Amino acid sequence: MSNPYRVQNPKTNTVIETFDFISDDDLESALATAHDAFKEWRELSYDNRAEKLRKAAQIFDERRDTLTRIIAEEMGKSIKEGDGEVDDVVEIFNYYADNGAEFGADQEIPNNQDGTAILRKVPLGVIVGIMPWNFPYYQVARFAAPALMAGNTVMVKHAEICPRSSQQIQDILEEAGFPKGAFTNLYASHDQIATLIEDSRVQGVSLTGSERAGRQIASQAGQALKKCVLELGGTDAYVVLDASDVKEAAQTAWNKRIGNTGQACTSNKRIIVMEDIHDEFVQELISLADAYVKGDPLNPGEAGEHEYFPLSSRDAAEKLAQQVKLAVDAGATLHTGGELDTEGAYFSPAVMTGIPVGSDSFYEEFFGPVVTVWKASSEEEAIELANDSLYGLGGAVMSEDEERAKKVANRIDTGMIHVNIPQARGAELPFGGVKNSGMGRELGPLGMDEFVNVQRYFVAD
């Protein structure tokens, strides 16, 4: 069986290093170790677990230069954006260290029985995580930190193009004092993950990835009667109701869309603009796109003030180019950009308008620097466009009249909705979606509740 685990620099499409799949025997040994580690880890107090989470946060902070260079070469993230990602990881580990004891505390329930009723949050056991390449450290921290703080152990199958970063996470946690098996990085095949999900020692699974992968993992988890959390795709609506400074409004929308080279689940992939400012808004987006030049992920800023970086892989860039072509064939207008590099994974920032409502392209997620805009003649039409989606992850409504924005935001069907900010971010804010964007929540107080047994504990008087 050919091995997809590799470091393949998207700047050049060159394979730097390959990694062997874990053998079935070694997978069994790793699962046994994780199961044994759970017996030890679950018995530690929240304070003891918090101490190790804080130490992990410290090591992530100290090792950021190495960590950012690794993912720049693995999936093309500029070291400047990678540095911000490490900040997020540090924040998440410290957040659960600081708040985990409170989130996991027993809760007494008033009752009319002859005794004391308590809700206890009891760890489940080994939890399998299947993680994506777009935020190689942050996505894992989002899943692993609360699961570990709750007393579970975790096994992670990362994206095939992130083998070095995934191993770094295990190394850091073990250096921080986590017992061997508390966090295990697996170079596993999809069949091996299916085997893990079926195993009685595994008690849950969390996936961040595509809708297709979500359906597959949810099916396997359901067959095995295991809890699953799914964070899938998004085509987030970004509604601009008015703006006295249209250029500034366009710049704000642009900054959100171009972040991580457009490869974010919560990127504003469908920008809906009221007709009186639409044309000026689009023209400003075109001007912004035209100002961008190729940048080197390892040396951001070297080519100029406005740079775009490669997508995660040549395959991803070719898929995006095909999506743009099909949208144009369906009737959309490509105003600028959309040029695919000859060898690497660079794809120049594009601006498109007029993707026909109801077409296949209208419902697709463009996972890259493609800014798509629709014109709305009324708030009602804007709401209708926003909700005409298979997904429901995030979204935003922008207006200088806050009450107007809130009125529209209240009618948008999504797991997270924002008023007058593209996206609020922070370890304390729960994250997740509805519809085909998945189920369950990560981060915040809810993040620690997903993989625990909320046990009724009754003591008779």
CA-CA distance, 321 to 70, in Å (whole number)? 26
In this structure, what token pair is assigned to residue 347? 């794809």
Closest CA to 315 of 5, 1, 8, 2: 8
Indicate the helix (H) or strand (E) that contains 149: helix 138-149
56 alpha-carbon distance from chain centroid: 21
CA-CA distance, 214 to 230, in Å (whole number)? 6
Query: Could you tell me the strand order of the sheet in which 438-439 lies?
Result: 183-186, 153-157, 126-130, 202-208, 227-231, 438-439
CA-CA distance, 123 to 458, in Å (whole number)? 18
Check 265, 284, 365, 442 and give the catalytic one. 265
Check 81, 211, 231, 442 and give the catalytic one. 231
In this structure, what token pair is assigned to residue 397? 């409504």
User: In 291-400, which residue ranges form alpha helices assigned H by DSSP?
Assistant: 314-330, 360-363, 379-387
Quick check: is 265 catalytic?
A: yes
- The size of the chain, in residues, is 461
Dihedral of alpha carbons 289, 292, 294, 295, sign = negative
């490509």: which residue's tokens? Answer: 334
Strands (E), 187-284: 202-208, 227-231, 237-240, 270-274
- The string over 125-147, giving b where at least 16 C-beta atoms fall within 10 Å of a residue's C-beta and e elsewhere, is bbbbbbbbbbbbbbbbbbbbbbb
């006295």: which residue's tokens? Answer: 244
Quick check: is 231 catalytic?
A: yes
In this structure, what token pair is assigned to residue 376? 């709305």
Q: Name the residues annotated as catalytic.
A: 231, 265
